[in-house]
Amino acid sequence: MNKENRISFKLYGKYALFSDPLTRIGGEKFSYQIPTYQSLKGIVESIYWKPTFIWYIDRVRVMKPIRTQSQGIRPIEYGGGNTLSIYTYLRDVEYQVSAHFEWNEHRQELSNDRNENKHFFIAKRMLERGGRRDIFLGTRECQGYVEPCDFGEGTGFYDLYGELSFGIMFHGFNYPDETGVNLLQTRLWTPLMQDGVIDFIRPQDCRIVRDIRPMQPKEFGETEFSNLSEDELLQDLLAQNGEGGQQ
């Protein structure tokens, strides 16, 4: 990468539920205190994503105090019944996120689409429009919003808090199209917050990795949009979003 490929943005919402996916099969859901790497990666991919590259989350800054709120939820019982579950959400959340992209070396068939300048400016303009797809804070019922910002600007609640550890947490998934290994794997790590900022380690640096199941990468051909200019591709994306190609 020779040109700018980094974005930073403000992420906020009324509620969030960043839960361990391994515990989601039960009736109760409880949010982590901070966003997971995988959830933030999914949010950046909702802003703009192509299989040509991989987003990496560098840092997250917690801007507001960590508060939780529990709600009684009646999940759908397809076999009948009247179950009441307790979901514990984070309330009134706001973060600053810094991320960058790198080429997916396991997608050599898309090497002609490796135009760093094009992808950066499209990502930047999609961020200004609030993302290409809807933003969710961990789960679909928690609507989120994004807007550009300079990482580190403003005053955060934990700016002078010092060091805070959150124990072992879910980091993310290893997908075969990003690792070259035909396995779906899960990663764990031990995050440490310093004065409100958490520096994420790279996925390959996670020491606790567990195999889940065999998985084959999705096949992509050399698509037509790989040779489009930035303006042509942006017009196509805006048209898909129902914006009629307006700038």
| Domains of the chain from N-terminus onward | 6-167+193-201 (3.30.70.2660)
pLDDT at 228: 53
Closest CA to 88 of 114, 67, 74: 67
- Cα–Cα–Cα angle for 10, 70, 31, rounded to 5 degrees: 50
Q: Looking at the chain, which runs of residues are DSSP E strands?
A: 6-16, 29-30, 53-62, 68-73, 85-103, 135-136, 143-148, 163-165, 169-174, 183-189, 192-194, 197-199, 208-214
Q: What predicted TM-score, i.e. pTM, was given to this entire model?
A: 0.86
Q: How far apart, in whole angstroms, are the C-alpha atoms of residue 87 and residue 21?
A: 14
For the segment 175-210, what is each residue's pLDDT rounded down to a tens digit?
A: 999 999 999 999 999 999 999 999 999 999 999 999
> In this predicted structure, what is the pLDDT of residue 222?
58
| Three-state secondary-structure class, residue 19 | coil
Rounded to whole angstroms, how far apart are CA atoms 115 and 38? 25
Residue range 94-129, pLDDT digits in tens: 999 999 999 999 988 888 999 999 999 999 999 999
Consecutive 10-residue averages of pLDDT for the chain (247 residues): 81 94 73 96 96 96 96 75 83 98 92 92 95 94 96 96 94 94 95 97 95 87 53 56 44
AA letter at 223: T
What b/e sequence results for 25-64 when a residue is b if at least 16 CB atoms lie within 10 Å of its CB, and e otherwise? eeeebbbbbbbbbbbbbbbbbbbbbbbbbbbbbebbbbbb
